[in-house]
Amino acid sequence: MNTLRKFAVRCKTHSLPRGYRPWPARLLFGFMLGALLAAFSPCGHSQTQDWQKEIRKYAEAQDWDSALRVVDQEISRAPNDMDVRAWRARILTWSGRLEEAEQEYLKILSVSRNDPDNWMGLANVYLREGKTTEALAAMDAAE
């Protein structure tokens, strides 16, 4: 019987090759699955959501100092995270601290020039400051 036919017969009968031990493969699969679950667990995500929820709570109460305190703590934890810095810029905008918000958006955009949300945030600040020409330029950059 040729090798191809032996293989076909073995596949039809669902027999395993001689000496095959399934436990090492299962152990490796279990380890890989565990590593993936640990890497994508909701623990880190819920921590992120917690500070955002806290900021939203303070924003609803218009407690801008507390909201800034929370976001500044996150920035100290991850100083290069532009999403956290964008939250800071939004809080500054909402609180009416427009000059600081403008500076924060400009810092963000010096690092990450392709995020249309940040360009629109800057445009919003410019509009509130009465800088319509700069606001139009920022809106154009957002496209």
pTM, two decimals, is 0.66
Q: Are the C-beta atoms of residues 117 and 138 closer than 8 Å to each other? A: no
Q: Are the C-beta atoms of residues 100 and 92 closer than 8 Å to each other? A: yes
- Tell me, what's the pLDDT at 45? 46
Identify the band that residue 18 occupies on the pLDDT scale cut at 50, 70 and 90.
low
- Tell me, what's the pLDDT at 143? 84
Residue 75 has pLDDT above 90, yes or no: yes
| 98-143: pLDDT as tens digits | 999 999 999 999 998 989 999 999 999 999 999 999 999 999 998 8
As given in the structure block, the two tokens for residue 102 are 């403008």
